[in-house]
Amino acid sequence: MADVSKLAPGQKVLMQGNEAIARGALEAGVSLAAAYPGNPSSEILQTLADSARSAGIYVEWSTNEKVALESAAAASYAGLRGMASMKQNGVNVAQDFICNLTISGTKGGLVLVTCDDPSGVSSTNEQDARFIARVACLPLLEPATPAECLKLTKLAFELSEQIGNLVVLRGLARLSHTRAGVTPGPLPEAKPRPHWDPNERWFTIPVVPRHQVMLDKLAQAGELIAAAGVNYYDGPVRPELLVIASGSSRLYADEARRLVGAGGRVGILHMGATWPLDQELILEHLARADKILFAEEVDPHIESGVKSIYAQHVRELGLKDFYGQETGHKPPIGELSPSRVAAAMADILGLPWQETDPAYLAKAKAAQALVAPRQVGFCPGCPHRASYWSMKQVLSADGREGIVSGDIGCYTMGVLPTGYERVNAVHCMGSGPGIASGLGKLRSQGFEQPVISVVGDSTFFHAALPALVNARWNNSDYVLVVLDNSATAMTGFQPHPGTGSTAMGQAGTAVDVEQICAGLGLPYTVLDPYDLEATQEALYDALQIGGGLRVLIFRRTCALVQNKRGGHPWRMSVDPQLCRGEDCGCDRFCTRVFRCPGLVFDQATGKTVLDEVVCVGCGVCAQICPAGAIKARPKEATA
Amino acid sequence: MVPPAASPAPQPTGLERLLAEVINPGLCVACGACLGLCPHLIFLDGQVAAPDACGLTSGRCYGFCPVAQRDVSRESQGPIGPVLGAWQGRATSKDLQGRVQYGGVVSELLALALDQSMVREAVVTAAGLRGTPQGIRVTERTGVLGAAGSVYAGGGALSSLNQALSEDSNHPLAVVGLPCQVQAVQAMKAHPQQPQAARRIHLVIGLFCTMNLPWRGLRKLLARHGVQAPLSRADFPPPPAGIFQAWSNGSYHELPLDQVRALSYPGCAGCPDLTSDGADLSVGACEGKPGWNTILARTHAGAGLLELAAGKGLLELEPAQPASMEHLTQAASDKRKRATAWSEERRHG
Ligand SMILES: Cc1cc2nc3c(=O)[nH]c(=O)nc-3n(C[C@H](O)[C@H](O)[C@H](O)COP(=O)(O)OP(=O)(O)OC[C@H]3O[C@@H](n4cnc5c(N)ncnc54)[C@H](O)[C@@H]3O)c2cc1C
Ligand code: SF4
Ligand code: SF4
Ligand code: SF4
Ligand code: SF4
């Protein structure tokens, strides 16, 4: 990412939402920023990391989101400003800390950024992380544009310092990666020196009076937010329909109003801060409209809040019609879009609405037929393909209906055909070994199926360790396979404890998976998943042993990382004389079953051919061809 | 109106059917006839598995499988099949002693066939490092002797035969197998998609067999009795001994016969053949004569090889005792009856 500390104040530039949040943090004088990578939030920290040296701040990839927020809180207690960014799932990881932090309070401005992923485009869920604001009584800001990202980030730090509590800024996948014009402001001149006054103590007891303090802070935040003018109305004085919206949905509502041609009839209440809700402003606008539509993603956060305000004031306001999740005018699942909001508006106002011109739809359908169907899959040469291949072969040969407990990373795709649908369960970071640990304790009650837990190297450090200690302690019987590709590949190759490098590019201390296993007293073997025979033999043996937790480390660098480091050793070719094609004796085993995209079945000749552009030369497919038709020769030494 | 009856779709004869009829119901006896043909069927630790579907509806795996192709109603020539000559005998060479199962006739005949270049390669079964039986390909006497002795577990050795047949060479082959394996070899030789089998398989030596054991089950049972795999030798001594004998690491163990028998492949129950009636030569134990074999010469090739061995003084041969032939015939007939009853019960039950 770019060094955003170098941007000239006052000069408009194109910026991603995530970059704008990073710039906002710099302008607010953040001193410590920490995160665990996760789409769609990753670029925030990467941008800060790439700006860290010139800005003179500390930026780190932490082992997980909870640790990231705790590190940022440390800055706050030392009188500096701190920020932790994460995807929606990360808020759950950090939640325990958040729910205590909100009672103990903060000193220097402390901001938590959650980038939610409606529709779960790059996530295992589409959770609406705004729940944390209600649960922990925290102010919540929701920008709609990159420019607002910058502005509200700065506001979040101010607010946090004024009330002495954490403030949540919520981004969305669309906003994180949208580019729009942003005008940066000045960077702070100087920052205070970190110091923790030993007379200042931060804890949660006595709980009840401190709970009251927490509520008072929230009330104070409400006043400050009202004064900040981040919520505003745009439309006729007495609209026929009032839309109350936040985040990207504000833009959708604006566009929908134009699409259905109801400009003069619809007003939009833009909510830049959605917790606490600005009651006065909401009452004022409820009084002026009889129909109210909610536009927000994903949960009915504003909807339920506004309805409960209305319930207290129903006598003075009279009867109103509310349209939202409960009436089906806002879907309870998935992303919103301008057309979804337009359909709701048209329905309420009795206007005609056709989502898309039928002629255009017909053309789009025709075009769609021309696009080759594509499956999400592992990259050519991906070590995970080889790893799942071996697991599939061995579990089938083992014949006891073995279970694979999955986890979070590229290798989550083990649930898909590219991973031979070999994974039986995936939830959150670290839940794979936890589930395996429980299964491995059902032996005495007759559970005989072997259990494998797969975790990536980054996940291993993030959340697998407590589950491993648990399994070790309680003597759970399963095989842990660490898919060590020396990268956090899913989210963009961020460093992690095992790689030894850090966010700011300095050398850290590499944390060794083997040493951790040895320290836990776990037997482990390191294998190269590209070597199918050795891997399968070791895995089979590990499954037979039983008795306790044992570890296999499948170590092979991510194919994409390897491509950048000089590539793979083999030049591949397929000998058409030897290829058995569709005959009995093969039946397109490589392209139909193994399915590396580097191999293509040529219908015309009935033989497999190598796609030299796609193949990276890992050499694995040569081991699965029954005819020895796939040849691997060492690449010529480049002069 | 009654619609015209559609002609029935041809029954698939590929992996899918093999799985449905043989492997999934647990009837596979690990002969290996379906292995080594293609990558779909794998053999690990004594067990056949098919991790992925094959897209073909017809293929050799199903056509070769002796369990799938078993036809108990087919009457062979009497309970023990065609016989040109019945003998009892043993090898004379000292280097076989202590290594062969009984009289060493199988090993000696095989070694001779290789020596004489009647065949250039033979497929036999031997225990691997950890005791798992497996097919191996040998080309000379030392290799043959390395595989001497009976491993009482399915080793999938025909996989090695398929491998040899898939290679681009023409030399003649021999194979030693159990009755199911001998039946599979006959199916290979008759299969239109495997023309090289009839051309290249020149010698089939069959063993007598009443049942075989799955390796994984046997290993577990041995472990329960404190016996470590691999075994250096094992035997079922004749009744009324009621035991299974196992030698491991220089020590001797006895396991109760009923526990061992309970392990046997369910698929063996439907096998009608005791004496490998489709072989060139069939060899088994010799009743009342420990250290000797009963030998049935079934084809002229088989009889010729036997004669040559005797002529060279490699084998000591006597005509088989009528009483022991009678018992053998009775045992073979009983096995056929049991198989017929079992098949009937499966069909109706
Ligand atoms: C599972 C099994 C069951 C048997 N049941 C009987 C029986 O009920 N009655 C009877 O009279 N004889 C039976 N035999 C045959 C007997 O054990 C001897 O193999 C036979 O008498 C030949 O003796 P030999 O001294 O000539 O053998 P050797 O010269 O020692 O040669 C033995 C040959 O058997 C082959 N062999 C070893 N294990 C296997 C195996 N698992 N599958 C296929 N081939 C193998 C070896 O490759 C070797 O070539 C059985 C053999 C096996 C393997
Ligand atoms: S696996 Fe080998 S023989 Fe089969 S189609 Fe691919 S290249 Fe050809
Ligand atoms: S060598 Fe084979 S498996 Fe590896 S990338 Fe090339 S085609 Fe794919
Ligand atoms: S390729 Fe042939 S032998 Fe292999 S599973 Fe398919 S039909 Fe059977
Ligand atoms: S009995 Fe033989 S051919 Fe049939 S499935 Fe088993 S190993 Fe394959």
pLDDT at residue A360 is higher than 60: yes
Helices of type H across chain B: 15-18, 60-64, 105-115, 141-146, 158-166, 179-190, 195-200, 215-224, 257-261, 300-311, 322-348
Contact of A392 with chain B, judged by CB distance below 8 Å, is answered with yes
Distance CA A96, CA A116 (A): 19
Q: What residue in B sits closest to A390 (Cα-Cα)? A: B51
Q: Which residues of A60-85 are buried (b: 16+ CB within 10 A; e: fewer)?
A: bbbbbbbbbbbbbbbbbbbbbbbbbb
- Closest-CA distance, B155 to chain A, in angstroms, reads 14
Q: Which of A584, A589, A591 to mutate to test the interface with B (most CBs of B within 10 A)?
A: A584
CB A608 less than 6 A from any atom of ligand 2: yes
CATH 3.40.50.1980 corresponds to the domain A570-638: no
Q: What is the per-residue pLDDT for B35?
A: 98
pLDDT tens for each residue of B15-39: 999 999 999 999 999 999 999 999 9
The two three-digit tokens of residue A246, written as one number: 């936040």
What confidence category does residue B7 fall into, taking pLDDT thresholds of 50, 70 and 90?
low
Strand bridging mode A167-172 / A110-116: parallel
8 Å CB contact of B56 and A592: no
pLDDT at B3 over 70: no
**How far apart, in Å, are the Cα atoms of A626 and each of B56, B167, B188?**
16, 11, 19
Nearest CB to A540; choose among B43, B44, B56: B44
List the strands of the sheet with A479-484, edge to edge.
A403-405, A451-456, A479-484, A550-555, A524-527
Ligand 3 pocket residue status of A440, Cβ below 6 Å: no
* Domain at A383-564, CATH class: alpha beta
End-to-end CA distance of chain A: 34
E-state strands within A515-562? 524-527, 550-555
Question: Could you tell me the two tokens for B156?
Answer: 């999938």
d(CA A254, CA A260): 10
User: Is residue A248's pLDDT more than 80?
Assistant: yes
pLDDT, tens digit, 9 for 90 and up, residues A49-100: 999 999 999 999 999 999 999 999 999 999 999 999 999 999 999 999 999 9
pTM of the model: 0.89
The minimum CA-CA distance between B93 and chain A, rounded to whole Å, is 39
What is d(CA B180, CA A600) in angstroms, rounded to the nearest whole number?
Answer: 40
- Residue of A586, A605, A610 with the most ligand 2 atoms within 8 Å of its CB, for mutation: A586
Q: What is the pLDDT of residues A220-245, one digit of tens each?
A: 999 999 999 999 999 999 999 999 99
Give the whole-angstrom CA distance, residue A217 versus residue A110. Answer: 14
**A560-612, pLDDT tens digit by residue?**
999 988 899 999 999 999 999 999 999 999 999 999 999 999 999 999 999 99
Residue B186 has pLDDT above 80, yes or no: yes
Tokens representing B73 are 């109603």
Task: Read off the pLDDT band of B9 (50, 70, 90).
Answer: low
Q: How many CA atoms lie within 13 A of A585 on its CB side?
A: 16
DSSP class of residue B74? -
- Asked if the model's pLDDT at residue A520 lies above 90, the reply is yes
Q: Give the start-to-end residue ranges of the domains of chain B.
A: 14-64, 75-212+264-348, 215-260
B50 CA to centre of ligand 3 in angstroms: 23
Q: Which two tokens stand for residue A519?
A: 């320290």
Q: Looking at this predicted complex, what is its ipTM?
A: 0.91
pLDDT, tens digit (0-9, with 9 covering 90-100), for A394-429: 999 999 999 999 999 999 999 999 999 999 999 999
* A570, A572, A594, A612, best to mutate for ligand 3 pocket (most atoms within 8 Å of CB): A572
Query: Taking a C-beta distance cutoff of 8 angstroms, is the pair A58, A83 a contact?
Result: no
How far is residue A398's CA from residue A450's CA, in Å, rounded to a whole number? 9
Cα–Cα distances in angstroms (integers) from residue A299 to residues A116, A177, A302, A334, in the given order: 12, 22, 8, 10
CATH 3.40.50.920 for domain A231-349:
yes
Are the beta carbons of A585 and B52 separated by less than 8 Å?
no
- Distances in Å between the alpha carbon of A244 and those of A144, A305, A312, A353, B323? 13, 11, 18, 21, 102
- Distance to chain A for B55, nearest Cα, Å: 7
User: In DSSP terms, which residues pair with B252 in a beta bridge?
Assistant: B247
Q: Mean pLDDT throughout B202-207? A: 98
- Distance from B86 to chain A by nearest Cα, in Å? 40
CB B60 within 8 A of CB A584: yes
Cβ-Cβ contacts under 8 Å, B56 against chain A = 582, 584, 587
Give the number of other Cβ atoms within 10 Å of residue B34's Cβ: 32
Q: Per mean pLDDT, which range of A178-182, A577-581, B2-6, B74-78 is the poorest? A: B2-6
Residues of B in contact with A402 (CB under 8 A): none
Question: Which position has the higher pLDDT, B193 or B4?
Answer: B193
Structure confidence by residue, pLDDT tens digits, B36-92 = 999 999 999 999 999 999 999 999 999 999 999 987 766 668 899 999 999 999 999
Contacts of B3 (CB under 8 A, 6+ apart): none
Mutation test residue for ligand 4: of B34, B43, B61, B65, the one with most atoms within 8 Å of CB: B61
Return the HEC string of A439-491.
HCCCHHHCCCCCEEEEEEHHHHHHHHHHHHHHHHHCCCCCEEEEEECCCEHHH
- For chain A, the domains span 4-191+203-228, 231-349, 383-564, 570-638
Any chain B CB within 8 A of the CB of A417? Answer: no
User: To the nearest whole number, what is the mean pLDDT of chain A?
Assistant: 95
Is pLDDT of A254 > 90? yes
Q: Is A5 helix (H, G, I), strand (E, B) or coil?
A: helix
Q: Could you give the angle at the alpha carbon of A71 between the alpha carbons of A68 and A76, nearest 5°?
A: 125
Average model confidence (pLDDT) for chain B? 94
Residue among B18, B28, B54 whose CB has most ligand 5 atoms within 8 A, to mutate: B28
A328 Cβ contact list (under 8 Å, min separation 6): none
Q: Which residues does chain B have within 8 Å of residue A397's beta carbon, measured at their own beta carbons?
A: 42-45, 47, 49, 51
Mean pLDDT of A123-130: 94
pLDDT reported for residue A361 = 87
- Are A584 and B58 in contact (CB < 8 Å)? yes
Distance from the Cα of A577 to chain B's closest Cα (Å) equals 12
Q: What pLDDT does residue A341 have?
A: 97
**What dihedral angle (degrees, nearest 10) is formed by the CA atoms of A177, A180, A185, A187?**
30
The pLDDT tens digits of the residues spanning A344-354 come to 999 999 999 88
B51 and A393 within 8 Å at the Cβ level: the answer is yes
Exposed/middle/buried for residue A40 (C-beta within 10 Å: 0-12, 13-18, 19+): buried
How far is Cα A548 from Cα A519, in angstroms, rounded to an integer?
15
Higher pLDDT pick, A613 / A458: A613
Q: Tell me: the pLDDT tens digits for A200-215?
A: 999 999 999 999 999 9
Task: Give me the DSSP letters along A173-188.
Answer: HHHHH-EEEE---PPP
A:B CB pairs within 8 Å: 58
Q: What CATH topology corresponds to B215-260?
A: Nuclear Transport Factor 2; Chain: A, (3.10.450)
Residue (of A92, A195, A479, A583) closest to B58 by Cα position: A583
Residues of A in contact with B193 (CB under 8 A): 584
Best to test chain B binding among A390, A539, A587, A595 (most B CBs inside 10 Å): A587
Q: Which of B14, B52, B56 sits opposite A593 (nearest CB)?
A: B52
Quote the pLDDT of residue A638: 45
CB contact under 8 A, A592 and B55: yes
Tell me if A297 sits within 8 A of A305, measured CB to CB.
Answer: no
Taking residue A231's Cβ as centre, other Cβ atoms within 10 Å add up to: 20
Place of tokens 């073997």: A525
User: A574 CB under 6 A from ligand 2?
Assistant: yes
Nearest alpha carbon, ligand 3 atom 3: A621
Partners of A150 in the β-ladder: none
- Give residue A536's Cα distance to chain centre: 33
B204 lines ligand 1 (CB under 6 A): no
On the question of a common fold for A231-349 and A383-564, the answer reads yes
**Is the Cβ of A601 closer than 8 Å to some Cβ of chain B?**
no
Tally helices (H) and strands (E) across chain A. Answer: 21, 23
Check: CB of residue A298 under 8 Å from CB of residue A166.
Answer: no
B215: tokens are: 């390796």
Domain boundaries A4-191+203-228, CATH class:
alpha beta
Q: Answer yes or no: do B44 and A585 touch at CB < 8 A.
A: no
Neighbours of A209 (CB within 10 A): 9
- B246: pLDDT strictly greater than 90: yes
DSSP-assigned letters across all residues of B99-110: TSSSS-HHHHHH
Q: Are the CB atoms for A485 and A561 separated by under 8 Å?
A: yes
For residues B113-151, b (16+ Cβ closer than 10 Å) or e, as one string?
bbeeebbbbbbbbbbeeebbbbbbbbeebebbbebbbbb
Residue A94's Cβ-side half-sphere holds a number of Cα atoms within 13 Å equal to 36
Average pLDDT of the segment spanning A294-310: 98
**What pLDDT is attached to residue B8?**
62
Tell whether ligand 3 has an atom less than 6 A from the beta carbon of residue A382.
no
Q: Does A188 touch chain B (CB under 8 A)?
A: no
Chain centroid offset of residue A545 CA: 37
Q: Cis link prior to A276 (omega < 30° from 0)? A: yes
Cα A584 to Cα A613, B61, B189, distances in angstroms: 29, 9, 17
Half-sphere exposure (CA, 13 Å, Cβ side) for B219?
A: 15
Count of other CB atoms within 10 angstroms of residue A126: 19
Q: Look at residue A639 and tell me whether its pLDDT is greater than 60.
A: no
Specify the ligand 4 atom closest to the Cα of B60: 3
Smallest CA–CA distance, residue B36 to chain A, in Å, is: 9
What are the counts of helices (DSSP H) followed by strands (DSSP E) for chain B?
Answer: 11, 13
Q: Is the CB of A442 under 6 A from ligand 2?
A: no
* Among candidate residues A232, A270, A236, the one with its CA nearest the CA of residue A253: A270
d(CA A228, CA A144): 16
Closest Cα in chain B, distance from residue A601 (Å): 14
Which member of A420, A584, A626 has the closest CB to residue B193? A584
| Spatial contact of A230 and A141, defined as CB atoms under 8 Å apart | yes
A610: which residues sit within 8 A by CB, 6+ positions away?
Answer: A572, A573, A574, A598, A599, A600, A630
Residues A394, B193: C-beta atoms closer than 8 Å? no
Tell me if chain B has a CB within 8 Å of the CB of A397. yes
A468-479 per-position pLDDT tens digit: 999 999 999 999
Residue nearest to atom 4 of ligand 5 (CA): B65
Q: Please give the pLDDT value at position B1.
A: 44
